[in-house]
Amino acid sequence: MKRHISAFLLAALLLCSLLPALAAGGESHTATVLFTHDLHSHFLPQPDGRGGESGGYARLKTALNRERAAHPGALTLDGGDFSIGSLIQTLYTTQGAELRTMQALGYDAATVGNHEFDHTGTGFAAMLNAVVESGDGGPPLLMANYKPAGDNPDRLDIQRAMAAYGVQDCMTLERGGVTYGIFGLMGKDSHACAPASGFVLEDMADSARQCVEHLKEQGAEFIICLSHGGTNEKKKLSEDELLAEKVEGIDLIVSGHTHTTLAEPIAVNNTYIVSAGPYCENLGSITIEWTEGGERTLTDYHLTPIDETLPEDGEITTMVERWKGLVGGTYLARYGLTYDEVLTVAGFDLPTPRSGVQSGNALGELVADSFLWAVNNLEKDAPDVPTVTVTADGVLRAPIATGEITTSMAFDVLSMGVGSDGTSGFPLVGVYLTGRELKAVAEVDASVTPLMPAAQLYVAGMEYSFNTHRMFFNRVTDIRLRRSITATADVEIVDSEDNTVSPPTDAFDWYEEIEDDRLYRVVTGMYSAQMLGTVKGKSLGLLSLEPKMADGSPAVSLESCILRDENGSEIKEWYALAAYLQSFGEEGIPGRYSLPSGDGRKDVSRSWNPIELVKNPSWITVVTLLVLAVAVIAGAFLLRWLHYARRRRRYGKKKNL
């Protein structure tokens, strides 16, 4: 009898211990994922603007080691754009420094972003080959919906490189008793930001469904999407949220591209979306528990700042120093510069523009001024014509902090792209626009920026005013050329009546009205020049910019418009800035750049003054006002007709009574 009672009690205890799991739907599992995205070659710490430092792969390794000690089965994944953002990117095609370092950091998988194609598709292939040839290896790369275009002449070479490296759509990975399924995606906007990739984009949702189905067939219990699509406050632009709504079966999306930092995950259906911020600012960590019955519980989510409080890992420090040495001996040698060489000093911060906020910006104006300085001091046989230089918000990748400014810091500001010479850095190009088109450039800044913040412009050689409340594509109220002149005995100033007059001071600004049919030279970086052709589409055909040669014929190839120095070498955007900074010497950056909103060359008004809103109307405003007037009049007539119709009905009813 006692034996039966003991057996019964033992069975009851066992049943009680299993009840929670049975109620939850079966055995429970735990998944911990460590994640980054948009690292942008930030091998080394950067000033954080608050007196500290942010980023650096040697400190990231320390954070990874601590997280892995706490979660031995954790995965480490990246959401793309691991390249392009520091001088070490200049080793991209020859050394594959980014992927080789990620291998040393212990990444389990990564996807690609648009900046992996800044060196075009062939540059991407060269990077993969460099990693394979090194013998160091790199983490698996996953690309489910991004393939070399069928008409790409280099398609076969690119496919061979991808095959040799082992690029694949998706993969399974067993860790800590859990079988993970992982796949990678490129987003629509990301693809649009890689115009020279030579790849085609397949539908994100369709590709994701195929990957989820395949991974489940392979036994995946927890499915992760590494997406370079991004999130946005506007739901219709939040590609990864839309993906989670359309596709079932994705447990986690590591979301890159939009440089978002999410303090808490976004939950869409049964999918968690996470982002840790760009530039190695944070290491993200998420832990999810789930049961075989499908119930999920978020048990932990946190971001670890990668800052000066973390010690540097010795192995990664040695590796990064090796990369720096290679950069100095190869890429920088042609410029006569070294990696940490001090160019000048800054007595104040020059932050990057605030995205979406229309205003002047001292850093943008400094860069535009450096382009104009390069035309006058570096370009061989620069034409003696009125010249305006332009840069855009989207190409300003890093701020300049108070203190010493080194070669690498100057490069970081303008680190995007590759030239026709195959080396890192977009070159400056010079094209011609009519005065009417030059005015349209200012209108792009005024009217397109709210739709596309990266299009906000900063100029030298021109100034303009606009009101943000005026009619779209008619917001500019005043515009003129602006030239800073240093008076010498050779300077001759002629007034409006052709009389020679004395300069008012030794250094002064000279203003000139813009003539609609005259050709003016515009100098900008290659990427911004490529975007000129998209203005017509962005403005619904209301604005049009057609880059021209000096004789007014269309500029068929921008490569023929690249600015070159006396040695025939391309003048890179970043080097124009570096040389301009170096020209300031020990005196440092002039105080005229100390105002965060710039020196007034771009005057942004937000006035509701009726006169200011309608003065100097273009045909767009006139037509719009006429349409509104007709609509108001028609509405008034309609209301009056309805009023009289109602009265007639009432009168008819009374008469019938």
**Could you report the per-residue pLDDT of 385-431, keeping only the tens digit for each?**
999 999 999 899 999 999 999 999 999 999 988 899 989 999 999 99
| Nearest alpha carbon to residue 190 among 181, 201, 182 | 201
Burial letters 459-473, b for 16+ CB under 10 A, else e: bbbbbbbbbeebbbb
pLDDT digits (tens, 9 = 90+) for 44-103: 999 887 888 999 999 999 999 999 999 999 999 999 999 999 999 999 999 999 999 999
Whole-number pLDDT of residue 10? 43
pLDDT digits (tens, 9 = 90+) for 620-629: 666 665 676 6
Count other C-beta atoms under 10 Å from residue 516's C-beta. Answer: 10
Rg of the chain over Cα atoms, rounded to whole angstroms, equals 30
**354 vs 209, which has greater pLDDT?**
209
Residue 20 has pLDDT above 50, yes or no: no
**What is the CATH architecture assignment of 33-305?**
4-Layer Sandwich (3.60)
Rounded Cα distance, 488 and 507, in Å = 9
Residue 12 has pLDDT above 60, yes or no: no
Residue 493 tokens read as 């100033």
Average pLDDT over residues 14-31: 56
**272 vs 21, which has greater pLDDT?**
272
Residue 478 has pLDDT above 50, yes or no: yes
Measured between alpha carbons, how far is residue 247 from residues 80, 181, 598 in Å? 21, 15, 46
**593 vs 614, which has greater pLDDT?**
593
Residue 509 has pLDDT above 80, yes or no: no
pLDDT digits (tens, 9 = 90+) for 555-591: 989 999 999 999 999 999 999 999 999 999 999 999 9
Residue 139 has pLDDT above 90, yes or no: yes
pLDDT digits (tens, 9 = 90+) for 164-185: 999 999 999 999 899 999 999 9
Question: Can you identify the CATH homologous superfamily of domain 339-475+511-605?
Answer: 5'-Nucleotidase, C-terminal domain (3.90.780.10)
Whole-number pLDDT of residue 13? 44
Count other C-beta atoms under 10 Å from residue 42's C-beta. Answer: 24
Q: Is 481 within 8 Å of 471 (Cβ atoms)?
A: no
Whole-number pLDDT of residue 370? 98
Rounded Cα distance, 411 and 575, in Å = 7
pLDDT confidence band for 614 (50 / 70 / 90): confident
Entry pTM: 0.83
Q: Is the dihedral of CA 602, 604, 609, 612 positive or negative?
A: positive
Residue 487 has pLDDT above 50, yes or no: no
Whole-number pLDDT of residue 2? 47
Residue 231 has pLDDT above 90, yes or no: yes
Whole-number pLDDT of residue 508? 53
Rounded Cα distance, 462 and 387, in Å = 9
Q: Where are the domains of the chain?
A: 33-305, 339-475+511-605, 608-640
**491 vs 608, which has greater pLDDT?**
608
Rounded Cα distance, 236 and 241, in Å = 9
State residue 268 phi and psi, 5-degree precision.
Answer: -125, 115
pLDDT confidence band for 616 (50 / 70 / 90): confident
pLDDT confidence band for 202 (50 / 70 / 90): very high
Whole-number pLDDT of residue 48? 83
Residue 393 tokens read as 């918000």
Whole-number pLDDT of residue 656? 57
- By CB neighbour count within 10 A (0-12 exposed, 13-18 middle, 19+ buried), where does 18 fall? exposed
Whole-number pLDDT of residue 23? 44
Residue 7 has pLDDT above 70, yes or no: no
Find how far residue 374's CA is from the centre of its chain: 25
Rounded Cα distance, 465 and 468, in Å = 10
Residue 504 has pLDDT above 70, yes or no: no
State residue 484 phi and psi, 5-degree precision.
Answer: -90, 125
Tokens 């609509």, located at residue:
631
Beta bridge partners of 111: 142
Whole-number pLDDT of residue 497? 54
pLDDT confidence band for 649 (50 / 70 / 90): confident
Q: Is 123 within 8 Å of 92 (Cβ atoms)?
A: yes
Residue 271 has pLDDT above 70, yes or no: yes
Residue 224 has pLDDT above 50, yes or no: yes
Residue 15 has pLDDT above 60, yes or no: no
Find how far residue 13's CA is from the centre of its chain: 59
Percent of the chain with pLDDT strictly greater than 70:
87
Average pLDDT, the chain: 89
Residue 471 has pLDDT above 70, yes or no: yes
Q: Which of 137-151, 249-263, 452-466 has the lowest mean pLDDT?
A: 452-466
**601 vs 613, which has greater pLDDT?**
601
Whole-number pLDDT of residue 540? 57
Average pLDDT over residues 433-437: 94
Residue 363 has pLDDT above 70, yes or no: yes
Average pLDDT over residues 301-305: 98
Q: Which of 152-156, 250-254, 525-529 has the lowest mean pLDDT?
A: 525-529
pLDDT confidence band for 651 (50 / 70 / 90): low
pLDDT confidence band for 636 (50 / 70 / 90): confident
Report the Cα–Cα distance between both ends of the chain, in Å, rounded. Answer: 100
* Pair type for strands 75-78 and 109-111: parallel
